[in-house]
């Protein structure tokens, strides 16, 4: 096979972490897709790929695109990191498989059924009370409330850990981007509580019947130290919370703005699953993820040097018209299989099964209880270097 003709990268002198880009994600994603090739962002000495096939193949090729040097902009092999690297996300085989196996043994089908049985009624009660008010904030009162009700409880974290863990997680995602004002503010807010969060994830501070205790037990059985178990507990929390909250919020926003889509979901609440998947494609809460090249790599004829950071533009890839017809339309009847909102391959999001269950419970309950859903004020963006989301979404409803 002939080697692809050598090409130059497309220079894009746009800051994806500027306030303009964070507030207008479609604007940046369209610029990236219009580049139609491998991108170079000179502001950060950063390579990027936006086409769906490029992003997916980069996800799958962990040997040449390593996670072990950090999945944000920082090359943790050179400059270190503010926290211990994730044993799942920032780790490659063979070590990665040992830790992934721990989660596989904990997040079984039986575990998910327990979560459903335990929280289905309480989620429905929460939604019933919100619908009775006829006006509520779909982010703070629903999209955030459901994961906060489920994940910390299932992990067995102490009640006082809930808000602190969110502050910690906010810093975690901001730290994956540049050291800008968003990062500085979250660092200042989190500095007094980081050690407390670490301590709360210790075995003695977890309930005996939660998933956190099971993670410790599985680590012990595998001969892994308690520090590893504590790190995995923190990883589980981050993987099951922020992106889930934002994904549910985006789903409700898209449905509220499109009465015909809401009518379909209300008529058939089982479409809640595909509604959430379409929301993840339509506006990906986790729009970026980075890798580091382990050797010189060619992508579509562009040579990327070894030890370079490559940013996968997940949000843009999920709007690529070469993969999805009518990519800028939100359609809950779309066959959305194959989107990369949770990643693919061995580093796909470990919390995705819990995230999908949380979203299904919330959206199904709302679909059953509300005959009409509509915007009731201006949404407020949640600005974070590494996430897309809303901090407020006022809606009005009519009870079914």
Within a 13 Å sphere around the CA of 247, how many CA atoms are in the beta-carbon half? 34
The reply to whether 4 falls in a domain is no
Whole-number Å distance between alpha carbons of 386 and 177: 6
Which of 173, 125, 169 minimizes the C-alpha distance to 145? 125
Q: Taking the complete model, does pTM exceed 0.85, yes or no?
A: yes
The reply to whether 258 falls in a domain is yes
pLDDT at position 1:
34
Domain at 354, CATH number: 1.10.630.10
pLDDT at 382 over 80: yes
Whole-number Å distance between alpha carbons of 343 and 1: 30
| pLDDT tens per residue, range 246-281 | 999 999 999 999 999 999 999 999 999 999 999 999
pLDDT at 352 over 50: yes
pLDDT at 238 over 90: no
Q: Is the bond leading into 39 cis (omega within 30 degrees of zero)?
A: no
pLDDT at position 3:
53
pLDDT at position 325:
95
Q: Is 47 helix (H, G, I), strand (E, B) or coil?
A: strand
* Count of C-beta atoms within a 10 Å radius of residue 53: 13
Q: Work out the average pLDDT over 25-47.
A: 95
pLDDT at 82 over 60: yes
| pLDDT tens per residue, range 293-344 | 999 999 999 999 999 999 999 999 999 999 999 999 999 999 998 999 999 9
Backbone φ and ψ of 304, nearest 5°: -110, 125
Q: Work out the average pLDDT over 39-59.
A: 97
Q: How confident is the model at residue 184 (pLDDT cuts 50, 70, 90)?
A: very high
Q: Is 384 helix (H, G, I), strand (E, B) or coil?
A: strand
pLDDT at position 273:
96
Give the chain's mean pLDDT. 94
Whole-number Å distance between alpha carbons of 362 and 341: 19
CA angle 372, 376, 382 (to 5 degrees): 115
Tokens 């005959």 sit on residue:
371
Q: Work out the average pLDDT over 196-204.
A: 93
pLDDT at position 2:
42
* Count of C-beta atoms within a 10 Å radius of residue 351: 24
| pLDDT tens per residue, range 282-294 | 999 999 999 999 9
pLDDT exceeding 70 applies to what percent of the chain?
Answer: 99
Provide the angle, in degrees to the nearest 10, between the axes of the packed helices 259-267 and 272-282: 150
Q: Which residues contact 159 (CB under 8 A, 6 or more apart)?
A: 152
The reply to whether 321 falls in a domain is yes
Provide the angle, in degrees to the nearest 10, between the axes of the packed helices 259-267 and 242-256: 110
The reply to whether 5 falls in a domain is no
Distances in whole angstroms, Cα of residue 393 to Cα of each of 172, 206, 243, 378: 24, 33, 16, 7
Radius of gyration of the chain (CA): 21
Q: Which two tokens stand for residue 94?
A: 């063979």
Q: Which residues contact 349 (CB under 8 A, 6 or more apart)?
A: 239, 243, 286, 342, 343, 355
> Is the distance from CB of 341 to CB of 276 less than 8 angstroms?
no
* Count of C-beta atoms within a 10 Å radius of residue 207: 14
Expressed as residue numbers, the domain containing 230 is 10-399
pLDDT at position 111:
94
What is the tally of structural domains in the chain? 1
The reply to whether 146 falls in a domain is yes
Eight-class DSSP state of 345? G
Q: How confident is the model at residue 4 (pLDDT cuts 50, 70, 90)?
A: low
């Amino acid at each position: 096979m002939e080697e692809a003709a050598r090409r130059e990268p497309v220079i894009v002198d746009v800051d994806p972490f500027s306030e303009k880009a964070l507030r207008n994600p479609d604007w940046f994603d369209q610029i990236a897709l219009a580049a139609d090739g491998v991108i170079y962002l000179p502001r950060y000495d950063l390579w990027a790929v936006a086409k769906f096939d490029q992003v997916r193949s980069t996800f799958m090729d962990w040997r040449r695109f390593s996670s072990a040097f950090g999945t944000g902009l920082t090359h943790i092999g050179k400059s270190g990191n503010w926290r211990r690297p994730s044993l799942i996300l920032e780790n490659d085989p063979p070590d990665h498989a040992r830790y992934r196996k721990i989660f596989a043994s904990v997040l079984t089908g039986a575990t998910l059924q327990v979560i459903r049985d335990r929280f289905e009624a309480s989620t429905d009660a929460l939604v019933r009370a919100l619908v009775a008010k006829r006006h509520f904030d779909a982010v703070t009162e629903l999209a955030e409330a459901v994961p906060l009700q489920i994940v910390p409880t299932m992990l067995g974290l102490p009640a006082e850990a809930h808000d602190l863990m969110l502050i910690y997680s906010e810093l975690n995602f901001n730290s994956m981007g540049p050291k800008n004002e968003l990062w500085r503010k979250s660092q200042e807010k989190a500095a007094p509580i980081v050690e407390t969060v670490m301590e709360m994830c210790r075995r003695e501070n977890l309930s005996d019947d939660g998933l956190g205790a099971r993670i410790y037990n599985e680590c012990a059985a595998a001969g892994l130290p308690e520090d590893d178990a504590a790190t995995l507990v923190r990883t589980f929390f981050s993987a099951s919370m922020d992106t889930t909250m934002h994904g549910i919020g985006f789903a409700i926003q898209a449905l509220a703005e499109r009465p015909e889509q809401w009518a379909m979901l209300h008529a058939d609440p089982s479409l809640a699953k595909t509604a959430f998947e379409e929301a993840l494609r339509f506006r990906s809460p986790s729009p970026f993820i980075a890798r580091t090249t382990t050797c010189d790599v060619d992508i579509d004829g562009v040579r990327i040097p070894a030890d370079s950071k490559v940013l996968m533009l997940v949000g843009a890839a999920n709007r690529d018209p070469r993969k999805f017809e009518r990519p800028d339309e939100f359609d809950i009847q779309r066959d959305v299989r194959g989107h990369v909102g949770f990643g693919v391959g061995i580093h796909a999001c470990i919390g995705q099964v819990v995230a999908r269950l949380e979203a299904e419970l919330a959206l199904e309950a709302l679909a059953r209880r509300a005959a009409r859903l509509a915007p009731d004020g201006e949404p407020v963006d949640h600005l974070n270097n590494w996430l897309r989301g809303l901090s407020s979404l006022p809606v009005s409803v009519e009870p079914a």
